[in-house]
Structure 1
Amino acid sequence: MSVDLLKLVEYGGCSAKIPAKQLEEILKFLPLPFDPDILVDIDTHDDAGVYRINDELALVLTTDFFPPVCGDPYEFGQIAAANSISDVYAMGGDPVLALNIMMFPAKDLPMEAYAEILKGGFDKAAEAGVRIIGGHTIDDSPPKYGLAVVGFIHPYKIITNAGAKPGDKLILTKPVGTGVIMTAQRMGIADQADIEEAKRQMKLLNRTGAEVMKKHGIRGATDITGFGLAGHALKMARASKVSMNINMKNVPLIGKAYNLVDDGCIPGASFRNMEYAENDTSFAAELDYNLKMIAFDAQTSGGLLMSVPPEKANSVIVDLHLAGLTSSAIIGKVSGKQDKYIHL
């Protein structure tokens, strides 16, 4: 089947998110329900909601969907599912059940493409041990796909974006640059090897990183998606009431992402993310412009950003590398609240 989903979209993957600045304005009008069993809600803009069932069990609930980030329907389904499930991993939970969310233009695409998207999602969910038990579809263009996911977690073992502490080291588990590389693909200037590596990273479940987090008792983390590394770090710093210092020279990059920015391949989402974060960010005089823009590059199904006690940092890195996450690196540190939340 020869179908190129990218011909139907302008923005794909997590770069299609509403800009963070607008989203925060919208959320101001959303009332917060009061219930002592709601353990995590939208107050800190965390990755998922958490609801306590009893003293031993809480539910992690999240949903995510977006337009295609790649041309192949099956791979799109895989990436969208991995991205949806990631929020449960970021909270330290075990994903269990999911529902499909699908918007599909029946008049523009063959039903075989629809089936391939769902199959990609099913296979990636099965890899994660998640059972897809239903869903909902509407006729809409461009196509969009994702999951509503339910996971289990112990109420006293939740990992949140409010758990960063001064002195912690910041560890990133995946390289960044998916937004730049997939944009370069649409422009016809990306190397095929970089495209394949970007898709591999997006299809890679954050399960291994989550297992390492839980092994070491990490309590502060988030996953890096549409608001970019700096944008999600900012949300984490605000929630934790700390500042974060990120050394962009230590941030792992996918392939030639740096050179592509140098060639002018800067996705529009990068500028929207920078507009959101720049008032709360200080930029070192020596910060390279390319790395500055990569800090705001919208990631799709990106890695975990962990806040790790300094005495555990080296052991966490060793375990991540042994588990196959060989790009994992210490990229910065947490300090007490300063004049700016983020320092690049």
Structure 2
Amino acid sequence: MSDPVRLTSLAHGGGCGCKLSPAVLREILAKVPQAAVFPNLMVGTETSDDAAVWRLNDQQALVATTDFFMPVVDDPYDFGRIAATNALSDVYAMGAQPIFALAIVGMPVDKLPVETIQQILAGGAAVCAAAGVPIAGGHSIDSVEPIYGLVALGLAHPDKVLTNRTGRAGDVLILTKALGVGVLSAGFKQQRLAPGGYEALIASTTQLNTIGARLGDMAGVHAVTDVTGFGLLGHTLELCRGANLAAEIRAEAPAVLAGVEALAQAGVRTGAATRNWASYGDAVRLPGDLADWRKDLLCDPQTSGGLLIAVDPAQAEAVLATVREAGFGASRVVGALKAGAPEVQVI
């Protein structure tokens, strides 16, 4: 019997590291005509938010997003779980509760056994079941590289929708998951993960950001986004641009996944981290003594990463405690928003 095909060997990139760089994406979208004004469109493409939001009535707003990528791991079931968790995260980041999903499936059917594809879909279905939502349909194609993800739909009260553009000067920034997913995935591909490294990778990337659906009811929460392919610095910069504010990020404040620091210090990083820095480094100020590996970690693409929450400092401890009690023990205060032109200062 031949050895099973490594899923990651069929893809030129994996996870949220597959995303177009921020600079390339801005260049593409710059020439896309703006949509006409629709009174019920509460959130569109204006500030690169996590999902679109359409007001249905005075009590309900529909949150809609799509997210898909190529394998970040070789185990098909784990790949499906990670991709589905990542897609649902955008709904939670808007303060919404998912209601159902549609599957996006592209598979090289001449290279992968049917059983492998079935396992990918089973992993995604398991995550959706854990979130309490069905996969109600979808679309599939024969593609060169394996691709899996979801269209995810959710509901929120129109007055409780959370966006990336409503932060306020003085808000504390809380990050709910540890950094280093991209470093671990690169180490996995290079077969350099220490014992426990793969388990840390899977545990982080398959943890649903369910706390997001509760944030709209918490006093002092002003803005939220999830930290994915553009890294902590990139998504913090989106908060800044959305609210026309600056931010400070403490370089050593975020929690780091097990094994990441050693790999990063040994030079393990993703190509996406380099592309991220090239895209937005001109809007980031670094201390002169910051180690290169630490800078890379702040740009590290986070597949199914944590939520970045902007909260009034008076309520920050209460929000942090609630988030940790919900199972996000790696949550940390990592910085703050402040008055100023949109930029991020690392301290």
Structure 2 length-normalised TM: 0.96
The yes-or-no answer on 1:104 pairing with 2:104 is no
Is 1:61 aligned to residue 58 of structure 2? no
- The size of the alignment, in residue pairs, is 343
Letter in 2 for 1:267: T
In the alignment, which residue of structure 2 is the partner of 1:147?
Answer: 150
Question: What is the letter of the counterpart of residue 7 of structure 1?
Answer: S
Specify the code of the residue in structure 2 equivalent to 1:16.
C
| Of 33, 37, 49, the match for 1:31 | 33
For 1:35-184, list aligned pairs within 5 A.
Answer: 35-184=38-187
Q: 1:144, 1:192 → 2: CA distance?
A: 28
Give the drift of 1:213. Answer: 5.4
Instruction: Determine if the alignment matches structure 1 residue 13 to structure 2 residue 7.
Output: no
- CA-CA distance at 1:4 after TM superposition: 2.5
CA distance, structure 1, for counterparts of residue 220 and residue 123 of structure 2: 33
1-side partners of 2:241 and 2:71: how far apart?
31
**CA distance in 1 between partners of 2:12 and 2:208 (Å):** 26
Which of 279, 292, 295 aligns to 2:295? It is 292
8 Å contact kept, 1:212–1:320: no
Residues 242-321 of structure 1 aligned to structure 2 (within 5 Å): 242-321=245-324
What is the correspondence of 1:193-204 to structure 2 with a 5 Å cutoff? 193-204=196-207
Q: Which amino acid aligns with 2:153?
A: V
Q: Residues 242 and 341 of structure 1 are in contact (CA less than 8 Å); yes or no, is this contact kept in structure 2?
A: yes
Does 186-195 or 167-176 show the bigger shift?
A: 186-195
Distance 1:301 1:16 in 2: 13
Displacement after TM superposition at 1:258 (Å): 1.8
Whole-angstrom CA distance in 2 between matches of 1:209 and 1:259: 31
Please report how far the alpha carbon of residue 219 of structure 1 lies from its aligned counterpart in structure 2 after TM superposition: 2.6
Give the alignment's Cα RMSD to 1 decimal.
1.3
**Are 1:20 and 1:227, in contact at CA under 8 Å, matched by a contact in 2?**
yes
Aligned to 2:209: 206
Q: Determine if contact 1:167/1:335 at 8 Å carries over to the other structure.
A: yes
Equivalent-residue separation in structure 1 for 2:310 and 2:128 (angstroms) = 27
| Paired residue secondary structure (2:158) | coil
- Structure 1 contact 158–219 (Cα < 8 Å) conserved: no
Task: State the alpha-carbon separation in 2 of the partners of residues 45 and 132 from structure 1.
Answer: 26
Separation in structure 1 between the aligned mates of residue 81 and residue 273 of structure 2, nearest angstrom: 24
Contact 2:81/2:124 (CA < 8 Å) preserved in 1? yes
| AA at the equivalent of 1:195 | Y
**Alignment gaps of 5+ in structure 1:** none
CA-CA distance at 1:212 after TM superposition: 4.5
Cα offset, 1:64, TM superposition = 0.3
- In the alignment, the residues of structure 2 paired with residue 178 and residue 88 of structure 1 have an alpha-carbon distance, to the nearest angstrom, of 21
Percent of counterpart pairs with the same letter? Answer: 38
* Deviates most, 116-125 or 186-195: 186-195
Q: Indicate if the aligned counterparts of 1:237 and 1:243 stay in contact, CA closer than 8 A.
A: yes
Whole-angstrom distance in 1 between the partners of 2:215 and 2:152: 21
In structure 2, C-alpha distance between the alignment counterparts of 1:335 and 1:116, rounded to whole Å: 46
For residue 223 of structure 1, what is the aligned residue in structure 2? 226
Alignment partner of 1:22 is 2:18: no
Question: What SS is found at the alignment partner of 1:221?
Answer: strand
SS at match of 1:42: coil
